[in-house]
Structure 1
Amino acid sequence: MADAVRRAVTIEPGTVEPGSVRVRGYRSGVLVADADPPLLVWEHRFYPQYFFSPGQVRVELRPAGPGPRSPSLGPSEMLDVVVGDAVLDGAARRYPQAPVEEVRETVTFDWSALDTWLAEEEVVHTHARDPYVRVDAMPSGRHVRVVAGGQVVAESSRPVVLVQSGQPPRYYLPRVDVRMDLLTPTGTVSYCAYKGTAAYWTVRAGGLELTDVAWGYDNPLREGLLVAGLVCFWPEKNADLEVYVDGERVQEP
Structure 2
Amino acid sequence: MSDIVQRETVRRDAARGEIAPRAVAIQPGTAEPGSVRVRAYSGGVLVADADPPLLVWEHRFYPQYFFAPAELRAGLRPAGPGRRSRSLGPSELFDVVVPDGAAGERVLPGAAQRYPQAPLAALRDAVTLDWSALDTWLAEEEVIHTHARDPYVRVDAMPSNRHVRVVAGGEVVAESRRPVVLVQSGQPPRYYLPQVDVRMDLLTPTDTVSYCAYKGTAAYWTVRVGDLRLRDVVWGYDTPLREGLRIAGMVCFWQEKNPDLEVWVDGERVGRS
TM-score range, shorter chain: over 0.9
Which deviations, in whole Å up to 9, do the C-alpha atoms of 1:150-185 show, x marking residues without a partner? 000000000000000000000000011000000010
Asked if 1:40 is matched to 2:60, the reply is no
Q: Kindly indicate whether the alpha-carbon contact (under 8 Å) linking 1:24 and 1:118 is maintained by their aligned counterparts in 2.
A: yes
Aligned-pair CA distance for 1:6:
4.2
Cα RMSD over matched residues? 1.4
Matched letter for residue 254 of structure 2:
W
Q: Taking structure 1 as reference, are residues 4 and 23 closer, same or farther at Cα in structure 2, changes over 3 Å only?
A: farther
Q: Give the equivalent residue in structure 1 for 2:33.
A: 18
Which deviations, in whole Å up to 9, do the C-alpha atoms of 1:80-131 show, x marking residues without a partner? 1001321111110101111111111100000000000000000000000000
State the 4+ residue runs in structure 1 displaced beyond 6 angstroms: none
Q: Kindly indicate whether the alpha-carbon contact (under 8 Å) linking 1:150 and 1:206 is maintained by their aligned counterparts in 2.
A: no
Q: 2:67 aligns with which of 46, 52, 55?
A: 52
Which deviations, in whole Å up to 9, do the C-alpha atoms of 1:38-91 show, x marking residues without a partner? 000000000000000000000100111111110000010111100132111111
TM-score of the aligned structures, taking structure 2 as reference length: 0.90
Q: Which has the higher contact order (CA 8 A, sep 6+)?
A: 1
Of 101-110 and 79-88, more deviation after overlay is shown by 79-88
* Structure 2, gaps ≥5 residues long: 1-11, 13-17, 100-104
3-state SS of 2:91 partner: strand
Q: Give the equivalent residue in structure 2 for 1:66.
A: 81
Q: Distance in 2 between matches of 1:185 and 1:45?
A: 32
Q: Taking structure 1 as reference, are residues 6 and 31 closer, same or farther at Cα in structure 2, changes over 3 Å only?
A: farther
Q: Distance in 2 between matches of 1:6 and 1:196?
A: 25
Matched residues, number: 252
Of 62-71 and 190-199, more deviation after overlay is shown by 62-71
**Mapping of 1:14-163 within 5 angstroms?**
14-84=29-99, 85-163=105-183
Q: Kindly indicate whether the alpha-carbon contact (under 8 Å) linking 1:9 and 1:165 is maintained by their aligned counterparts in 2.
A: no
Q: Give the equivalent residue in structure 2 for 1:195.
A: 215
TM-score of the aligned structures, taking structure 1 as reference length: 0.97
3-state SS of 1:74 partner: coil
* Structure 1, gaps ≥5 residues long: none
Of 35-44 and 3-12, more deviation after overlay is shown by 3-12
Q: Give the equivalent residue in structure 2 for 1:177.
A: 197
